[in-house]
Chains A and B, each alone.
Chain A
Amino acid sequence: MLDQPTNERRLTIARAMAEAMQQEMQRDPRVFVMGEDIAGFGGIFGNTRGLFEKFGKERVRDTPISETGFISAAVGAAMDGMRPVVELMFVDFFGVCFDAIYNQMAKNAYFSGGNASVPMVLMTSTGGGYSDAGQHSQCLYGTFAHLPGMKVVSPSNAYDAKGLMTAAIRDDNPVVYMYHKQLQGMGWLGTEPGATLNTPQEGYTVEIGKAKVVRAGSDVTLVGLAMGVHNALKAADKLAEEGVNAEVIDLVSLVPLDRETVINSVAKTGRLIVIDEDYHSYGVSGEIIATVTEHDVSKLKASPARVTFPDVPIPYAKHMEQFCLPNPDKIIAAYRKM
């Protein structure tokens, strides 16, 4: 990745998201963006930069700090034929507005027997690692993916970030677009270099519901999403030094979940480690392991393992938070125990 040709456009996830929204807004007058500080400020995490200057305040709207109000308004606008992209600044804030999300956004298509649709994107930041404590650092992937009626995606790099945003806006269903703060490319949050990738200028989509094998291997399957993919890739590099060939899967999408790609990989490697920055219990890691064991437990050469956030609120102190977060060393340790 360090040897990319100089004519490539290396974008951060933040810029890739903004570019996708800009192109879709140009292409489709029904698309508009609203949320807190997303207009002139360009989004706390940079993902709406430039939109306000280009499209003005009618289509790029700062909202009051009223998540219930503006997210349920997005539902109403979507049902009236618009394609809102609405931002929940931190996923942790879902607690003040979840009815709009899981009882309205996610259920109205079903309650209409498919006669009505709610084509909206709810983009929201996830993840910690920068000592923002327990109300601004959660991932909550499992919480959203658990509830039926909304697609859930989370990109690990800028290429996917742009293609997923384009696909999400064009999707006729509600899509929860979860972007990890430490992958955004905002220097002040710390930046994962592997997330900044060559990103084509022209619009394109990345399929929602399709996982990617981002590193091929034969000895163990490492499954993750967002930051988990980067931890898995780093672990895979270290394992390779010992002659262990790890396959890394980027789930990309939680709903729909590409179970087949995971099953096929484990059929080959016989070993499974799931990396998830969300809480340990009742979440994505358990779902992935269940997927594999339900399908054919005989393919496993060892008990599956998971490297996750323990079931505690995210602590503030740096050493305590880092102690809890998944990292490459924990993945390697999990492999060694197999």
Chain B
Amino acid sequence: MQPTKEQSLWMYENMVVSRRFEEAIEKAYLEGKTPAFNMANGPIPGEMHLSNGQEPVAVGVCAHLNADDIVTATHRPHHQAIAKGVDLKRMAAEIFGKSTGLSGGRGGHMHLIDPAVNFSCSGIIGESCGPACGAALSRTIQNKPGVAVAFLGEGAANQGAFHEALNLAGTWKLPVVFVIEDNSWGISVPKAEATAVIRNDVRAAGYGMPGHYVPGNDPHAIFDVAGEAIARARKGEGPTLIEAETYRLAGHFMGDAEQYRPKGEKDALFAKDPIPKMRERLLAEGCTATELDEIEQRADSLVADAITFARESDYAPESDALTAVFV
């Protein structure tokens, strides 16, 4: 399954939006954190898990989804949220802790929930899997269209939650697709030292579903495999497990000195940065530089508007902390 030109450009645009957004977040995050790094300072306090480098997986999968479909995501959720269509302004405002944010500042960057596009995420490793099964079950029981996609990291594939959810999905043949972003690092521990198998796609066999491995951090290859899996789910043929190789260009969180990385690894990863690679590919396929430049400019202004909106928004009254525990 190959993307149309329109789909390719959509993937490119969302990759660029995601990257530019994270560059802007990174810059804002560092404000107020020098000379001594203190996570609690600055306009964006707390942990920050950037997803730059991992954009291909999010766009290759979400290119097949519409607003009715469900995505449950991880503690590293920006690229997935953007690809699923979460409002960028409200997401930025949430990360800045503002009243106009998705939850008015109660959740922050690891807890982005946007019911308008059926997006949610959890800061707990592996906990995207069960809720995706439940949302898929909901559609099955109600006989409503829609599939659920659970994103997780390769480290999460060692959590019990992942295995329980896969068994549930396999047993009930749920319209759900599990997508592992294999960035090869669980914070500082390499995949090989934490995982009994070389590739997690083989684990699908234990749960009665097909498994696919997608090498190369290649949006087109991911689009292809995810397209088949999602179509299969839509036809009621059950779940699929996909593991896609990807690259974490940043640390686990901002402030991570990444001393665990082998020398030269980061340089090699940046040399394989999927965004310039995709631009080259699109040019080779006949897109014009002007067309791609326009996409990049549009991404720049979308991100700039979102960051401005976030900065200019007010904080909610502090007593709002005491509300919305119950609806």
Q: Which A residues are within 8 Å of any B CB, using their own CB?
A: 29-30, 32, 58-59, 63-64, 66, 68-82, 84, 96, 99-100, 103-104, 107-117, 148-149, 151, 172-173
The answer, yes or no, to whether B148 is at the interface (CB within 8 Å) is: yes
Contact of A79 among B127, B135, B168, B324 (CB under 8 A): B135
Contact of A103 among B103, B106, B127 (CB under 8 A): B127
A-chain residues with CB within 8 Å of residue B167 when the two chains form the complex: 64, 66, 69
Does B106 lie within 8 Å of A113, measured CB to CB?
yes
Does A69 lie within 8 Å of B127, measured CB to CB?
no
A49 CB to nearest chain B CB (Å): 21
Cα A114 to Cα B133 with chains together (Å): 23
Closest A residue to B324 by CB, please name it: A114
Does B106 lie within 8 Å of A81, measured CB to CB?
no
Does B131 lie within 8 Å of A66, measured CB to CB?
no
A209 CB to nearest chain B CB (Å): 10
B-chain residues with CB within 8 Å of residue A108 when the two chains form the complex: 113, 120
Q: Would A173 and B134 be within 8 Å (CB), given that A80-B118, A108-B120 are in contact?
A: no
B-chain residues with CB within 8 Å of residue A103 when the two chains form the complex: 122, 124, 127
The stretch of B9-17, B137-145, B218-226 in contact with A is: B137-145
Q: Which of B148, B161, B325 has the most CB of A within 10 A?
A: B325
Contact of B127 among A74, A100, A113 (CB under 8 A): A100
B256 CB to nearest chain A CB (Å): 23
7 other A-B residue contacts (CB within 8 Å) besides A79-B120, A104-B122, A116-B115: A72-B133, A73-B134, A73-B168, A100-B161, A113-B102, A113-B106, A116-B120
Chain B, range 123-173, C-beta contacts under 8 Å to A: 124, 127, 129-139, 141-142, 148, 160-161, 164-165, 167-168, 171
Does B103 lie within 8 Å of A110, measured CB to CB?
yes
Cα A104 to Cα B161 with chains together (Å): 13
Q: Would A76 and B130 be within 8 Å (CB), given that A64-B171, A68-B164, A112-B103 are in contact?
A: yes
Cα A329 to Cα B71 with chains together (Å): 56
Does A32 lie within 8 Å of B141, measured CB to CB?
yes
B-chain residues with CB within 8 Å of residue A72 when the two chains form the complex: 127, 129-131, 133-134, 161, 165
Does B165 lie within 8 Å of A69, measured CB to CB?
yes
A-chain residues with CB within 8 Å of residue B34 when the two chains form the complex: none
8 contacts between A and B (CB under 8 A): A64-B164, A72-B165, A73-B131, A77-B135, A81-B138, A108-B113, A109-B324, A113-B324
Does B127 lie within 8 Å of A109, measured CB to CB?
no
Does A109 lie within 8 Å of B134, measured CB to CB?
no
B-chain residues with CB within 8 Å of residue A173 when the two chains form the complex: 326-327
Cα A107 to Cα B111 with chains together (Å): 10
Does A99 lie within 8 Å of B324, measured CB to CB?
no
A-chain residues with CB within 8 Å of residue B131 when the two chains form the complex: 72-73, 75-76, 79, 104
B-chain residues with CB within 8 Å of residue A148 when the two chains form the complex: 325
Closest A residue to B148 by CB, please name it: A76
A-chain residues with CB within 8 Å of residue B114 when the two chains form the complex: 112, 115
The answer, yes or no, to whether B323 is at the interface (CB within 8 Å) is: yes
Does B134 lie within 8 Å of A78, measured CB to CB?
yes
Closest A residue to B101 by CB, please name it: A113
Q: Which of A71, A108, A149 has the most CB of B within 10 A?
A: A108
Q: Would A76 and B161 be within 8 Å (CB), given that A111-B103, A111-B106, A113-B103 are in contact?
A: no
Contact of A114 among B118, B120, B160, B327 (CB under 8 A): B327
B82 CB to nearest chain A CB (Å): 18
The answer, yes or no, to whether B72 is at the interface (CB within 8 Å) is: yes
The answer, yes or no, to whether B60 is at the interface (CB within 8 Å) is: no
Does B326 lie within 8 Å of A80, measured CB to CB?
no
Q: Which of A70, A96, A103 has the most CB of B within 10 A?
A: A70
Closest B residue to A149 by CB, please name it: B325
